[in-house]
Amino acid sequence: MASKKKKPTPAENREAFLARWKLVNEVQREEERNRTPEERLRRFFALMAQAKAMGWQTHTQAEIDAVRQRWIKIKDICAKKK
C-alpha cells in the first residue's frame, strides 16, 4: 500500500514559507555586505534610472525649488560667518 503524505496545516505552511524567506534574506544580506562601494553605487544609479524611465516621481519641481532655496540660505549664512 502506498503511503499518503500528510497534508501540511496552514500554520505549517506559514512556518515553512517564513523559514524559506528567512534563508533568502540572509543570503541577500551577505551578498550586499560583500559588494564594493562602487557596485552599490552602480546598483543604486541603475535603480534610479529605472524609476525615472517608468515615470516615477518622488518630488515636485516646487519641492526641488524649496530645497534649493534652503541650501542657498545656508550657504549665505556660512559665507557671512567667515
Listed in sequence order, the DSSP H helices in 1-82 are: 10-34, 37-53, 61-81
What's the pLDDT score for residue 2?
60
Query: Residue 70 domain-assigned?
Result: yes
The answer to whether position 43 is within a domain reads: yes
Please indicate, yes or no, if residue 1 is contained in any of the structural domains. no
The answer to whether 16 touches 8, Cβ cutoff 8 Å, is yes
* 28 within a domain of the structure (yes/no): yes
Q: Which domain holds residue 49?
A: 10-81
Total number of domains in the chain: 1
Report the pLDDT value the prediction gives residue 3, as an integer from 0 to 100: 67
| Residue that is written with C-alpha cell 530645497 in the block | 67
What's the average model confidence in pLDDT over 1-8?
76
**Does residue 54 lie in a domain region?**
yes
Query: What is the model's pTM?
Result: 0.47
pLDDT given for residue 72 in this prediction: 96
| Distance set, CA 2 to CA 5, 6, 67 (Å) | 10, 13, 71
**Would 21 be classed as within a structural domain?**
yes
| Span 23-71, pLDDT tens digits | 999 999 999 999 999 999 999 999 999 998 998 877 889 999 999 999 9
Residue 37 lies in a domain: yes
